[in-house]
Each structure stands twice: as C-alpha cells, then as structure tokens.
Amino acid sequence: MKSRVRLHITRLPLLTWLGLPLLVLYLSVNYFLGESRNPDWVRADLPGNGTLPAEAAIPTPPPLQTTPVPWDRRGIVTIWFDDAWQTQYTISLPIMESFGFRGALAVPTLAINNENYMSWAQVRRMQFKGWEIASHTRNHICESAKFDEKTVDYELNGSYEDLRRQGIRADFFVSPCGIELPGIREIAKQHYLGLRTVEPGFTDLPPKDVYFINGFTLTNESTVGDIRTLLSETKASLKWLNIIFHSIDESGSKYSVTPDTFSAMLEEVRNSGLPVLVPSEVLSRIFK
Ligand SMILES: [Zn+2]
C-alpha cells in the first residue's frame, strides 16, 4: 500500500508538466487558425467584406417626421432637456410619456457615455420615440474667450457630424450657457434650421429670427406657480414658450428639479390646453 501511494505522488507532477505545454500548443494553433479566418459575424456579401462604410458614405438621417397641422394661431409650448443627463432618460422620459408629451433634447456629444449622462443608444431611442435631438456642441464650453474660429468650427460642425454618425438628425443648435460668439449664427445656418438660447423671454410666432429662440431655464427655485404664470402669458400673448429643464432628481443642485415638481409642472402644461410640440413641428406649422 505504501509503495502505490508513493507512485501516485511522483506521477502527478509529471502529468502536470506535460499538460501545460500541450495546452499552450493547442491554444497557439487555435489562435493562428483564427487569425487567418474571417470571424463568423462578418458577412461576405457586404461591400468591403463587412467593413464599415467610409465616413463620407454614412447617410444623413432623414428629418423628424412631423404631422403638417396648420397653426391655429394659439400659443405653443416646447419642453427642452439640456445636456443629456441620465435622469432625463430614466425619470423625465417616462413622466413625459405618461402625459403624452414629446420634448427636445440638447446633446453635448462628448458627454455621452460618461457617468451620469445618457448613452448613444438612449439618445437614439428618444429620437425613435419622436423627440427632437438638438446639437449642444461637443464640449459644452461656456467661456467665449476659449473660442477661436477653429474651435467654433470644431464645436458646431463637429457636434453635427458626431450626431449624424450616430444616426441622429440634429436640425437645431443650442448654444452652451447661451454663449454669444461672433459668427456663431452664420456657422449655425450651415447645418441647423434654428438656434435656441437661454435668454429668458417668449418667442414671437412666427419667430422674428429662428436663430434667436428664447427660453426660460428652470432651477431648484422654480415653482409650479411660475409655470402657471408663464403658461397664462403664453395664452394671452399667442407666443412660443420654451421651457428648459436640466437634471430631474432629488439632488437639490441649482439646475435640478425634483420628479414631483416636474410632474406637477407638466400637469399645469396639460391643464393649459396649449399644444406641446418639438421645435421642428413648430417651424413646420408656422411656415407651411
Ligand atoms: Zn447646457
């Protein structure tokens, strides 16, 4: 008995030493075979054997489908969500849907996929649901001193291109922090149908300048009563009310609104009976 046990003890390490080189050999052969073969998911019938099309070949997504309804000469409300916060997808979107509202989302393209911000899939999903996706530059720079001619091009044209490559059509531009730059409107006109600022005020219908759309930014101090006042002024003046939300959460930070207040504000919007439209719909109704 003693000798058999010893035999097992001495043979086991030998087998282990043989097994390791065999495993390495097996993996190497598989690796090189794999390298020389197309992976299964590459479709041979695609041009370029499944490689992505050249950048220039990426088609520009079609404009938002809007129902051409004539403007009945009433005031109009547009609900904006700036900066693509994650809570705008997880909290605002379902609440907006419960009221049957669609909104406009202003996306700083380099924020996407970062912590607390939406993913590209979420932005595309909102577009699919009929939301208007607007460009909000790439880096959301708020200091005009940081913009030279090259930066303006990088931020405005670049963000349009980033969105386009993600299959997202951006017909509106939203300036970060409402920043005013020389030539910003001329560049915006190359790609966008309109530009929204954060300059408080109502916008005429039809707008005097579609590259200067006003908007009221809501903060943690905004009340349901403030919204009620804005809505009754919209009704009386027959103008366009753009209201701007940022994150919808309980953080209490300056530009946040709690989910309860947000719901109560939307309740006021619904009770006003005013049409809630996205910007492309507004322009298509006014100018058609
Ligand atoms: Zn912003």
Co-location of 196 and 80 in the same domain: yes
Residue 52 lies in a domain: no
What tokens appear for 198 in the block?
């954060």
pLDDT at residue 34 tops 60: no
State how far the Cα of 281 lies from the Cα of 99, in Å rounded to an integer. 18
222 in Cβ contact with 257 (< 8 Å): yes
Residue 288: is its pLDDT beyond 60? no
Give 174 Cα–ligand 1 centroid separation in angstroms: 8
Position 101 scores a pLDDT of 97
* Residue position matching structure tokens 């001329």: 186
**Co-location of 37 and 130 in the same domain:** no
In-domain check, residue 112 = yes
Residues 35 and 139 both lie in one domain? no
Evaluate if residue 208 carries a pLDDT over 70. yes
Closest by CA position to 248, among listed 107, 82, 77, 78: 82
pLDDT digits (tens, 9 = 90+) for 97-112: 999 999 999 999 999 9
Tokens 């009386």 belong to residue: 236
Answer yes or no: is 67 within a domain.
Answer: no
Mean pLDDT for the stretch of residues 81-94: 98
For residue 55, being part of any structural domain is answered with no
Residues 93, 232 share a domain: yes
Distance 123 CA to ligand 1 centre (A): 16
Domain membership of residue 99 as a residue range? 76-287
Tokens of 185: 């409107």
Residues 129 and 240 occupy one common structural domain: yes
Q: Is the pLDDT of residue 40 over 90?
A: no
Question: Which pLDDT does position 105 carry in this prediction?
Answer: 98
**Distance (Å) from CA 246 to ligand 1 centroid:** 8
Average pLDDT over residues 128-136: 96
Amino acid at 31: Y
How many Å apart are CA 265 and CA 285, to the nearest integer?
Answer: 25
Coil, helix or strand for 241?
strand
Number of structural domains the chain divides into: 2
Q: Give distance in angstroms: CA of 35 to centre of ligand 1.
A: 46
**Which of 14-18, 205-209, 267-271: highest mean pLDDT?**
267-271
pLDDT for 2 equals 46
Q: What is the pTM of this model?
A: 0.79
Tell me: do 99 and 201 sit in the same domain: yes
The pLDDT assigned to 47 comes to: 40
CB contact at 8 A, 231 and 77 = yes
> What does R_g of the chain's alpha carbons equal in angstroms?
27
Mean pLDDT for the stretch of residues 81-92: 98
34 in the same domain as 126 = no
Residue 160 above 70 pLDDT? Answer: yes
Supply the pLDDT for residue 145: 85
Ramachandran class of 68: left when φ > 0, alpha when ψ lies in -120 to 50, beta otherwise:
beta
- Neighbouring CB atoms inside 10 A of 94's CB total 10
Residue 77 alpha carbon to ligand 1 centre in Å = 20
Residue 70 lies in a domain: no
Q: Are residues 133 and 31 in the same domain?
A: no
Cα 136 to averaged position of ligand 1 atoms, centre (Å): 7
Buried b (16+ CB within 10 A) or exposed e, 68-78: eeebeeebbbb
> In the prediction, which pLDDT does 68 show?
66
What are the helix (H) ranges across the chain? Answer: 2-35, 86-87, 93-98, 120-128, 149-165, 184-191, 224-237, 259-272, 279-287
99 closest CA partner among 278, 239, 262, 284: 262
Cα 140 to averaged position of ligand 1 atoms, centre (Å)? 6
Mean pLDDT, rounded, of the chain: 85
**Residue 68 resides in a domain:** no
User: Are 38 and 82 in the same domain?
Assistant: no
Structure token digits, residue 34: 């794999």
- Residue 19 falls inside a structural domain: yes
Confidence of residue 120 (pLDDT cuts 50, 70, 90): very high
Question: Do residues 233 and 194 both lie within one domain?
Answer: yes
- Judge if 13 and 81 occupy the same domain: no
pLDDT at 70: 74
Are 166 and 31 members of one domain? no
Rounded to the nearest angstrom, the distance between the alpha carbon of 243 and the centre of ligand 1 is: 13
Sign of the four-CA dihedral 131, 137, 138, 141: negative
For residue 158, the domain's CATH number is: 3.20.20.370
